[in-house]
Amino acid sequence: MSDDFSPRTLAAQALGRIDEDTRGLVPPVHLSTTFIRDPDNQYRAGDVYGRPDNATVREAEAVIGALEGAAATLVFGSGMSAAVALFLSLGPGVHIVAPRVMYWALRGWLANDAPALRLHVDFVETEDLAELKRAVRPGATKLIWLETPSNPLWGVSDIAGAARIAHAAGAWLAVDSTCATPIFTRPLALGADVVMHSATKYLNGHSDVVAGALAFARDDALCERVRAVRKAHGLILHPFEAFLLTRGMRTLDLRVRASAANAMELAIRLSNHAAVAEVLYPGLPHHPGHQLARRQMQGSFGGMLSIRARGGADAAIGTAARVTLWKRATSLGGVESLIEHRASIEGPGSPCPPDLLRLSAGIEDVEDLWRDIDRALAG
């Protein structure tokens, strides 16, 4: 299928691939873990064994790669394993710059586990390019990691600006674009070298697959090392999950646009709610990242927002306890709306204020979502 088609068309038809053997519209799930050698001992068909690679996984990789404009894409058993594979592939002794506010479990790994592997990480406000530039050590810094918009305060980082800083210092730029999705942001086109997704979220979109992806600007030595880490550590996604991921991505464009429209409407209404002290959403004009998000996110602002309860932590937890339509659960990016008291899950040391509720707007009718959260906030 031609790359000239829009992301919505490419995803809807999963690049138009069919099962050539049966002419089935939907390609089958390839489960085989091993493959027959040719009589002369070669593997001309390409596949050898299930741990390094799999045909159904390649289908999902092709769709993500087309959406991100990538030269190569690798799918993993989770977003965490995708990110960790990239960090491991850098090798020991390198310096990494990462955001102060980012997905909490990955920040924990970088702060607590990476040093034992001689990966030295500095955490900075990546929203501030001057601070980012000061943190980079030319010659030593190998990778800048961004997450934008970033969990759970929804700061917006300038991908093109960070790419310039990284490349001037001889470093790579990698972007966790999970919450932006390839529909709203294309980091590789803005100069990033690698894009990471927790495909568990919007890409799959139905809260029934845990998966991750790395999409590379070039199929180069870095990509080859990550491929080797995935193979050695057995981090590849199972074919069943890869099949579900491809199926989920067929509706990615519709889902994320519906979620973003709901998030925008809820952000406006919640800004005027007596029980809400603050709404954190890049779509609101007073948000510090609003103008940048407007340029970088193609005029949309995604489906994630947070609110701070005027009554503090107890009021926030009480609100989450009273909703009936919103689901009180961790994760994000599914068709169903989720609400979560983030500080409870992040624990001590989290930059997340205790009065904060993170909202993942799903695709339900916004009036139903509003009635439920309005009533829950009122107590």
Give the separation between CA 342 and CA 345, rounded to whole angstroms. Answer: 5
Question: How would DSSP label each residue in 70-130?
Answer: -SEEEEESSHHHHHHHHHHHT-TTEEEEEESSS-HHHHHIIIIIGGGGTEEEEEE-TT-HH
Q: Say whether residue 184 binds ligand PLP (CB under 6 A).
A: no
**By C-alpha distance, which of 63, 113, 103 is closest to 80?**
103
Give the separation between CA 272 and CA 261, rounded to whole angstroms. Answer: 18
Q: Say whether residue 178 binds ligand PLP (CB under 6 A).
A: yes
The one-letter code for the residue type at 200 is: T
Give the separation between CA 66 and CA 5, rounded to whole angstroms. Answer: 10
Q: Which is nearer to ligand PLP, 81 or 300 (CB)?
A: 81
| Residues annotated catalytic, as ranges | 51, 103, 176, 201
- Which position among 210, 214, 252, 352 is part of the footprint of ligand PLP (CB under 6 A)? 210
Q: Say whether residue 202 binds ligand PLP (CB under 6 A).
A: no
Q: Rounded to the nearest whole angstrom, what is the least distance from the CB of residue 84 to ligand PLP in the complex?
A: 9
Q: Say whether residue 204 binds ligand PLP (CB under 6 A).
A: no
Q: Which is nearer to ligand PLP, 84 or 284 (CB)?
A: 84
CA quadruple 321, 322, 324, 330: dihedral, nearest 10:
-30
- Positions 262 through 321 that interact with ligand PLP (CB under 6 A): none
Q: Rounded to the nearest whole angstrom, what is the least distance from the CB of residue 311 to ligand PLP in the complex?
A: 27
Q: Say whether residue 151 binds ligand PLP (CB under 6 A).
A: yes
Q: Say whether residue 177 binds ligand PLP (CB under 6 A).
A: no
What number of helices (H) and strands (E) belong to the chain? Answer: 14, 12
Instruction: Provide the edge-to-edge strand list for the sheet that holds 327-328.
Output: 276-280, 304-309, 356-360, 338-341, 327-328
Q: Which is nearer to ligand PLP, 238 or 273 (CB)?
A: 238
- Which position among 200, 246, 300, 337 is part of the footprint of ligand PLP (CB under 6 A)? 200
Q: Rounded to the nearest whole angstrom, what is the least distance from the CB of residue 80 to ligand PLP in the complex?
A: 4
Q: Rounded to the nearest whole angstrom, what is the least distance from the CB of residue 35 to ligand PLP in the complex?
A: 29
Spell out the residues 6+ positions from residue 248 whose beta carbon is closer than 8 angstroms to its own.
203, 204, 205, 206, 209
- Positions 315 through 354 that interact with ligand PLP (CB under 6 A): 331-332
Number of residue whose CB is nearest ligand PLP: 79
Q: Say whether residue 144 binds ligand PLP (CB under 6 A).
A: no
What is the number of alpha carbons within 13 Å of residue 38 lying toward its C-beta? 7
- Which position among 59, 176, 241, 372 is part of the footprint of ligand PLP (CB under 6 A)? 176
- Which position among 9, 13, 78, 344 is part of the footprint of ligand PLP (CB under 6 A)? 78
Residue with tokens 């509720």: 357
Q: Which stretch binds ligand PLP (CB under 6 A): 28-36, 173-181, 276-284, 289-297?
A: 173-181
Show the tokens assigned to 117.
């592997």
Q: Which stretch binds ligand PLP (CB under 6 A): 29-37, 74-82, 84-92, 241-249?
A: 74-82
- Which position among 50, 99, 187, 212 is part of the footprint of ligand PLP (CB under 6 A)? 212
E strand intervals along the chain? 72-76, 94-99, 119-124, 141-147, 172-176, 194-198, 212-216, 276-280, 304-309, 327-328, 338-341, 356-360
Q: Rounded to the nearest whole angstrom, what is the least distance from the CB of residue 256 to ligand PLP in the complex?
A: 14
CB count, 10 Å around CB of 116?
8
- Which position among 50, 79, 187, 303 is part of the footprint of ligand PLP (CB under 6 A)? 79
| HEC sequence for 337-355 | CEEEEHHHHHCCCCCCCCC
Q: Which stretch binds ligand PLP (CB under 6 A): 72-80, 247-255, 289-297, 367-375?
A: 72-80
Q: Which stretch binds ligand PLP (CB under 6 A): 19-27, 78-86, 181-189, 293-301?
A: 78-86
Q: Rounded to the nearest whole angstrom, what is the least distance from the CB of residue 41 to ligand PLP in the complex?
A: 39
Pairing outcome for strands 356-360 and 304-309? antiparallel
**List of residues contacting ligand PLP (CB under 6 A):** 78-80, 103, 106, 147, 151, 176, 178-179, 198, 200, 210, 212, 331-332
